[in-house]
Chain A
Amino acid sequence: MSSTDSRRDGVNRRNLLKGGAGAALLAGLGSATPAKAAGKKVVIGGFVDGALVPFKDKIIPLAQQQGFDIQFLQDQYGVTLEKFFNDAQSGAGQYDLYLLDDPWVPQFGAAEVLEDLGAAGIDGADKDWVRPMVDMGYWPPQTGPRVRGFETATPKLICVPFIGDIQTFTYRNDVYKNGAPKTWDEVLELGKAGVSSGAIKYPVVFDGVSGNPIVTSWHPLLLSFGGDFFDDKWNVIFNSDVGKASADFLVTTLKQNAPPGVVEYDSNEVGASMLRGDSGATIQYTGNALVSDDPSQSKEVGKLDFSVVPKKEKAIAQIGIFIAGVPKTGPNKANAIEFLKWFVTPEIQAKLSAAGAIPVKRTAFTVPPAGNRLIPVTLAQFDAGAMPRPRTPDWAKIEELVGIQLNKALQAGSGGGAALDVAAGQIKDYLTQAGYYK
């Protein structure tokens, strides 16, 4: 039948009755099928990141076999926080499950817009969790300073780790022939030799864009140099002598050994620089590292290895896991909680690991075969030293203020310490006005 014929048939009473009878028959047949095929709808929101690809490709089909009707909606990282927070606050109910970046948890916790997953039956005390990961799901935090208004509140598990992620060191094994460099001095010395031999163009590469990207580059340096952001009373201490030394190291020494346009480099450009073979080493999250052995994306297949980050005083990396929260206004929140309970079972975590993503339960790290050689390195980094970003709902503002000053210093190629002094003053003013020191 041509399209013209079908139009001629059109909508008439007889066709409607026929259609209605058909629909009724289908509905009847549907009710006879098992309950799991009926579809327990869960709308999951996340941001675009390579670390989520194994979940999307391998775990969602498994969940669907289990009877979950999963809709996975992804946005760019830069707009996800505001979108989720607005959804949770306005009660729009667009999502049943948020995949958050871990520093966003305090903001959602303070606004009290997420379900208590501990009360819903998820055991945060389970010894199988990677401890630093599950600690980030509690609000207020179980340890460390607390913001005003939450000093005496009982910590609740409002989020559960979903995909593990932490910064690790990626390096070229044809430049660092004796294995991973242990210190920053080794990184630069051998990297320069690699440039001289023509193997690479630049010893290192890092995120330099203002705001979150450059702070993500600097934070592990601050920690490695022995510094920290705040003391236990939210006093700014990142502009201590070691803090300033770490900032100067980034904006001067590392910049001199990085691609000339590093000021405008975000994680995409950093990943591309490594995969193109331009740069010899970087600290990065797993999203880019996971594709190192994919010949369709990497020109350096087999030449990129991973290790714990180099140290100055310590070898500490920044945690940046994907962590799941269920909004109180989610239309299918019971399904979302059921899905989470299923997702964190040892069986599914092992499948996640086999698919190449970083699991969140310890047993899954040891299940052979891990789908990616980066997976054991991430566990080693968690055990060697892993720190979250400060647990405050005002982190986005703090990160912005530090990031702007560091980016200006990076652009100038000097003045890292002075930049930190300016940022420290601005943050102190901001926190004072926000009532942190009353």
Chain B
Amino acid sequence: MTEATRGAAPISDKRSATRSAGRERRQGAGLDLFLPYLLLAPAVLTVFGVLVYPLWNGIQASTKLYRYGKAVSDIGLDNYRRLWSDPEFLNSLWVTLRFVTISVAIETVLGFALALFCAKEFSGIRLLRAVLIVPMVVTPVVVAIVFRLIYANDTGMLTALSEALGGGQVDILSDPVKAFVGLIALDVWEWTPLIFLILLAGLQSLPQEPFEAAQVDGAGAWRTFIDLTVPMMRPVLAVAIVLRTIDAFGTFDQVFVLTRGGPGTSTKLISLYGYEVAFKFQQTGYAAALFVTVGLLILALALAAVRLLRRVEAT
């Protein structure tokens, strides 16, 4: 059939075909319109139920005054204002910032060093890599209990070791500075493997040509590390640091078991203080304001880190 013949088809057939095609299009359009939403609905509802609603509820609670577990009045932003004159909040925020900064810095340096070492292939390396990530998979509460047994000044392992060597009792948890250092040591032991794992993956994915070229040019190991490895690893380092920083802000189990925030308030992290305010002192509204504020601080930090990462990638 030629084009001309096809064009001369009876008008009734044409109309019928047009109607049929229109119906199909409408049906298709309906499916196109609703099916994606239908498929997305379970996920959206779940996110709404477990994330959006609790968050909204928390924000609402943060504007109320609670007494004896019940909301008694709306107080606007008073809870947020009160935070900045609460010495316990300011202290725990300061302790948390110090804890996060020091522990993440140490973990990054150690994790990078271990990753560089384990990036090489030699006999037993697979076993070593597996062993190095063991601390990360132990339950944090168990780690804290073990460290408490190590640090205990009367029957702890460090005291036993010290006494065997002719020394005296080792007081870690009863001294503010030592207890803080002890908490950082625990965190470093447990979470250096996370940084190690991320950086090892990054190192193994680096192209080999620049390193071979540097070797041909006679560059030493240190020069290669500074001029090639570090710049090429910057995006991976940034991701590892951001992830670990956000995680470290939420540290709770270890400090709850190891020191309960003491001695005094020397190891009282913001998570522990927030927990006490919410559940022990039943100041629900104030606790909600505290956690919203801390959440915003972490969000700001994460956004700043992402912006930094983009800038690094661009250069």
Contacts and interface: CB of A to CB of B under 8 A. Distances in A.
Nearest to B91: A404
Given A89-B69, A107-B282, A396-B281, A261 B260 contact: no
Contacts of A209: 260, 262
Interface string A364-405: 000000000000000000000000000001101100100010
Contacts of A259: 153-154
Interface in A100-114: 107, 110-111, 113
Contacts of B153: 259-261, 264
Interface in B171-194: 171, 173-176
A210 B276 CA distance: 13
A394 B265 CA distance: 20
Given A89-B69, A400-B280, A407 B264 contact: yes
Interface in A118-176: 149
A408 B260 contact: no
Given A261-B153, A393-B68, A411-B175, A210 B281 contact: no
Interface residues of A, number: 35
A13 B276 CA distance: 55
Nearest to B171: A261
A86 B154 CA distance: 36
Contacts of A229: none
Interface string B227-266: 0000000000000000000000000000000001111110
Interface string A306-345: 0000000000000000000000000000000000000000
B53 interface: no
Nearest to A399: B280
B: interface residue count bin: 20 to 34
A397 B264 contact: no
Given A209-B262, A396-B281, A408-B264, A110 B173 contact: no
A400 B264 contact: no
A261 B282 contact: no
A416 interface: no
A353 to B, nearest CB: 34
Interface string A252-285: 0000000111111000010011000010000000
A206 B263 CA distance: 15
Contacts of A263: 171, 173-175, 262-263
A232 interface: no
A264 B173 contact: yes
B117 interface: no
A81 interface: yes
Interface of B: 67-70, 152-155, 168-169, 171, 173-176, 260-265, 276, 279-282
3 closest Cβ contacts across the A-B interface? A261-B153, A263-B174, A82-B279
Given A111-B69, A272-B154, A411-B176, 11 more contacts: A209-B262, A210-B264, A269-B152, A269-B154, A278-B154, A397-B281, A400-B276, A400-B280, A400-B281, A407-B263, A411-B174
